[in-house]
């Protein structure tokens, strides 16, 4: 069985789209929006070189909420995989949950429902584990929110949070004491995470 690194998309691999004039923040919804976060390319290269299969699991509820068309989400996801590919990084699988329990004005009613794939549900992670033949005990979810942590726990994966210095909103999550649902590892960037995680001595057989 393979070791896997399942990555959240927004806030972990790519930055949010910020409009300082409007004060708005939204997930990237066009290929031109894609800005890889610092450390992502070097970090993913290091994990791939160490034998990890790389995958993406992303909640994208904005079509259900009537904010972004499904085709824009799909095109942006494809563009992200292609962008990483141009950096020599292969993504073995991608799962995207389009559902949202409440939806929003103008949202696609077919997408408004609960879904076990939507993080913190484990569905997307379990599908990737099955499809890619991953060993859950040797695989990690890397994310930036409580939902990512919950999904990792529910799927039986280890969890690392990448917490940029400016994201003070998630400091309490990252600094939780062990036993109170703390993540297994916290780093400020993906290359730093690779340095820490890949330096760990291998677990005894
Ligand atoms: Mg995120
Ligand atoms: Zn879903």
Q: Please give the full DSSP string across the chain, using - where no structure is assigned.
A: -B-EEEE-SBTTTBPPEEETTTTEEE---SGGG--BPTTHHHHHHHHHHTT-EEEEEEE-TTTTTTSS-HHHHHHHHHHHHHHHHHTT----EEEEE--BSS--TT--GGGBS--TTSTTSSHHHHHHHHHHTB-GGG-EEEESSHHHHHHHHHHT-EEEEE--TT-GGGHHHHTPPTTTT--SEEESSHHHHHHHHHHSPPPP-
Q: For residue range 45-91, what is the model confidence (pLDDT) as tens digits?
A: 999 999 999 999 999 999 999 999 999 999 999 999 999 999 999 99
Record the pTM: 0.92
Least confident residue range of 66-80, 136-150, 174-188: 174-188
More confidently predicted of 86 and 175:
86
Q: Does the structure show a pLDDT above 80 at 180?
A: no
- Return the ligand number nearest the Cα of 167: 1
CA of 15 to the centre of ligand 1 (A): 9
Instruction: Select the CATH number that applies to the domain covering 4-160 from these four: 3.30.1130.10, 3.30.200.20, 3.40.640.10, 3.40.50.1000.
Output: 3.40.50.1000
102 CA to centre of ligand 1 in angstroms: 20
pLDDT band of residue 205 (cuts 50, 70, 90) is low
């Amino acid at each position: 069985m393979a070791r896997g690194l399942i990555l959240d998309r927004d806030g972990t691999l790519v930055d949010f789209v910020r409009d300082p004039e409007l004060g708005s923040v939204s997930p990237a919804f066009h290929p031109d929006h894609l800005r890889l976060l610092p450390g992502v390319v070097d970090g993913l290269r290091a994990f791939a070189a160490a034998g990890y299969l790389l995958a993406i699991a992303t909640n994208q509820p904005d079509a259900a909420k009537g904010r972004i068309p499904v085709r824009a989400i799909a095109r942006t996801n494809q563009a992200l995989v292609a962008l990483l590919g141009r950096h020599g990084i292969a993504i073995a699988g991608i799962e995207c949950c389009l559902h949202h329990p409440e939806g929003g004005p103008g949202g696609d009613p077919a997408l408004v429902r609960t879904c076990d794939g939507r993080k913190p549900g484990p569905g997307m992670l379990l599908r990737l584990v099955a499809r890619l033949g991953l060993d859950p005990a040797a695989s990690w979810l890397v994310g930036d929110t409580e939902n990512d942590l919950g999904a990792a726990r529910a799927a039986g994966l280890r969890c690392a949070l990448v917490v940029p210095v400016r994201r003070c909103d998630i400091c309490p999550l990252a600094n939780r004491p062990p036993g109170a649902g703390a993540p297994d590892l916290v780093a400020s960037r993906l290359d730093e995470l690779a340095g820490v995680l890949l330096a760990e001595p291998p677990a005894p057989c």
